[in-house]
Structure 1
């Protein structure tokens, strides 16, 4: 996927996180239990945080098309879908098999962060 398309995807994922946050706060407040709302809030929090990271990495990709950065963005977007997506589903009453999807998404989010570390380790040392 071209960097332009990744940037658009990351921005749309961020926009959806705002929509889902507002939906949870206003549309689901009277429908879900406090525990379900807690899961929804966790999903939104991770969704927004990682959407921002994906967006920042996409902006960096415009200047430096490093493979590790691209892999980080793919991992983050997939991680958001699986981690937050499974929590959204569970909060809304999805079947129990959604539960094991959450840690897979979490692993993908961690891989995204570790790809950033791998990228940073390969940067040249700053001149003094």
Structure 2
């Protein structure tokens, strides 16, 4: 699981930089025209948060491995796909209905972070 967290965290964080730069430069005028620049920036920021959390989980799992951290990794990765992904889809499709999907990703993020907190309490 530590390899999964480290790999997906690195990939997710790197992609957030690339996608964020694309939005800030190549798509900036388009995103302003459709009034979605802030939405795009929020997506890139939360994608980076997910990547950093996954990297932290990977390093943590190098020292301690338990089922809570493993499940937390999957939940954070799921949140990293769904939350920013739905915001990116709003920008790409100009369909605000994708916003109804975002809370699922947010719940996955929160659940993963809660499991990380629980794993800390269970740590001996």
- Normalised to the residue count of structure 1, the TM-score between the two structures is 0.88
Count of paired positions: 123
Corresponding residue for residue 45 of structure 1: 45
Corresponding residue for residue 29 of structure 1: 28
Cα distance in 2, alignment partners of residues 95 and 14 from structure 1 = 26
Cα distance in 1, alignment partners of residues 89 and 20 from structure 2 = 14
Cα distance in 2, alignment partners of residues 118 and 8 from structure 1 = 24
Cα distance in 2, alignment partners of residues 52 and 70 from structure 1 = 16
| Secondary structure of the structure 2 residue equivalent to 1:65 | coil
Can you give the 5+ residue segments of structure 1 that lack an aligned partner in the other structure?
none
Q: How far does the alpha carbon of each residue in 1:57-98 deviate from its partner, in whole angstroms, 9 at most, with x for none?
A: 111112211111111111111101100000011012254442
Residue pairs, 1:1-128, within 5 angstroms: 2-33=1-32, 35-124=35-124
- Normalised to the residue count of structure 2, the TM-score between the two structures is 0.91
C-alpha deviation, 1:45, in angstroms: 1.1
Can you give the 5+ residue segments of structure 2 that lack an aligned partner in the other structure?
none
Flag as ranges the 4+ runs of structure 1 deviating above 3 A. 94-97
Cα distance in 2, alignment partners of residues 17 and 66 from structure 1 = 28
Cα distance in 2, alignment partners of residues 52 and 72 from structure 1 = 13
Contact 2:19 2:44 in 1 (8 A): yes
Structural RMSD (CA): 1.5
Higher helix proportion (structure 1 or 2): 2
Cα distance in 2, alignment partners of residues 120 and 94 from structure 1 = 41
